[in-house]
Structure 1
Amino acid sequence: MASYPPSSCCYQGVKHEGQPVGGILNVGDFEIYTSYPANKSTDYAVLFLTDIFGHKFINNQLIADQFAANGYFTFMPDLFNGDPVPANRPESFDVAEWRKSHTTAHVTPIVEASIKELREKYHVKKIAAVGYCYGAKYVVRHLKAGQIDVGYVAHPSHVDADELKAIQGPLSIAAAETDSLFPTEKRHESEEILKNLGVPYQINLYSGVIHGFAVRSDLSVKAAKYAKEAAFFQAIQWFNEYVE
């Protein structure tokens, strides 16, 4: 594996403040949160694949709005059929039991339907995708011709080495210095895989932060605030380079 499965550190964090500006729609039998750039263009989209807190978690919605503010139509599906992990649940929460109802077989159809919706309804020219923790696996799995054009993942979990070996497009990774799900050995394994693929890649390591920092950092902590903001701009710079 290129990263380990989700565990307790996936569902602790700080809720951020702000008023989301996007809206909730339905695609078939699942919800999406959408946020438009100022010019309302859908030429270039960010498919936002969330952590286990899902599409209604305010931190995720505010980040989606930030992508839109930077010129990308942002499309964030509910990967969990209305059953995300509630924010800041106690460590006794059984992630393994929850995951039985949210396997690859459950999530993949939602991702595929989202890609189809972007291509056919919104006529998106290129799809960039972001994946935080849980969502990172599905960015990697779908980073192929005709699906996702360019990918970015932060503190990934449960990504198989074979999935990483199969990517066909540029991939950027934001990693935490302290991360039991994407530790040093998995980061180095991923680097070796990427070096041999011949696709553009980037791995940035942020000191002083832990798993989940790109979504759930405590912004009162200077190092965490810097890392979260820098990781976001890492994604924007990557997309600006490889999307248009």
Structure 2
Amino acid sequence: MSFSSCCLKTFTWGGTPTGKEVKLANNNSYVTGDNKDAAVLFIHDLFGWKYNNIRLLADHYAREANVTVYVPDFFGGWVVDWELVEQDRFDKIDLAGLLRDNSREIRGPEMEACAKALKSEHGFKRLGAIGFCYGGWAVCHLAHKRHEPKLVDAISMGHPSWLEKADVENLAVPVQILAPEIDPAFNQELKTFTFATLLKLNLPFDYVHYPGIVHGSLVRGSEKLAKEREAMASAKNSAVAWFKEHLH
């Protein structure tokens, strides 16, 4: 099978995003898809809203789940040096500054404003949210039981970071967890707690385990490594199926 035909069935590595840039609430945002009733708010990871794979994933979700996908910038214009991340040279990145400038207190209200705008101003009847790494805690923030009416109708999170037990304990909507086996941010203790807590909350949930896969690979998995290629495609397909079930 050729590389191009494989990508058609999995994930389009190196492709060109098909959406456009707009404003959502007060945030710059990438948008793709044309469904007027169902939308997904995609909260990016460390790579930010302009990272090609993030936008290509958004295109896949829009096309395959029949939703309109928005990817707002929640880093205030800051963009990480993608080459440093891909080389795992995190010591060259100001992670302390990232934490300081993009805390829950700073970005949480922006995320809420974007979710509210999609339902109130744009008129979407159903809204999902998906987030990887940094976006993991964020989608839980949007799914918190304190929001009335609910901001989102279902969430999906992949290899979440900054996640706290209280985030899980206060979930109020169906949740999907895409969980690589090797993940210091979403470690075994937190995985076990999440699974047990969701059972107690009696929420619909989908837990997908990826043996041998490391944190980050569901967004920046390499097409050259079979296990990462398959895991990234599988995670994309799982998210598509989740949103098709809960947003239509």
Instruction: Find out whether 1:151 has 2:150 as its counterpart.
Output: no
Give the letter aligned to residue 110 of structure 2.
I
The answer on whether the counterparts of 1:141 and 1:164 sit within 8 Å (CA) in structure 2 is no
- Equivalent residue, structure 2, for 1:177: 181
The answer as to whether partners of 2:44 and 2:132 remain within 8 angstroms in 1 is yes
The residue number in structure 1 matching 2:226 is 222
Query: Equivalent residue for 1:203?
Result: 207
Q: Are 1:235 and 2:235 an aligned pair?
A: no
Q: Aligned pair in 2 of structure 1 residues 101, 200: CA closer, same or farther (>3 Å)? A: same
- Identify which of structures 1 and 2 has the higher relative contact order when contacts are C-alpha pairs closer than 8 Å and 6+ apart: 1
Is the 2:217–2:228 Cα contact (8 Å) retained in structure 1? yes
State how 1:132-151 maps to structure 2 within 5 Å.
132-143=132-143, 144=145, 145-151=149-155
Structure 2 unmatched runs, 5+ = 1-11
- Counterpart AA for 2:72: P
1:80 aligns with 2:75: yes
CA distance in 1, matches of 2:221, 2:45: 13
Query: Residues 138-162 of structure 1, C-alpha deviation per residue, up to 9 Å, x if partnerless?
Result: 1111114420110000000111111
Tell me what 1:121 maps to.
121
Within 1, Cα distance between the matches of 2:119 and 2:173?
18
- Counterpart position of 1:33: 30
2:141 & 2:24 partners in 1: Cα distance?
21
Matched residue, 2:38? 44
State the percentage of identical aligned residues: 28
Runs of 4+, deviation exceeding 3 Å: none
Per-residue deviation at 1:27?
A: 3.2
- Tell me, in whole angstroms, the C-alpha distance in 1 between the residues paired with 2:13 and 2:96: 27
Q: Counterpart of 2:90?
A: 91
The CA RMSD measured in Å over matched residues stands at 1.5
How far the C-alpha of 1:28 sits from its partner, in A, is: 4.7
Tell me the alpha carbon deviations over residues 96-122 of structure 1, each in whole angstroms, 9 at most, x when there is no partner: 232101101111122112112211222
Q: Which amino acid aligns with 2:55?
A: Q
Shift in Å, 1:48:
0.3
The offset of 1:16, in angstroms, is 4.0
* TM-score under structure 2 length normalisation: 0.87
**Which deviates further from its counterpart, 44-53 or 78-87?**
78-87
Deviation at 1:221, TM superposition (A): 0.5
What is the one-letter code of the residue matched to 1:80? F
CA distance in 2, matches of 1:225, 1:48: 21
Moved more, 93-102 or 194-203: 93-102
Contact 1:77 1:110 in 2 (8 A): no
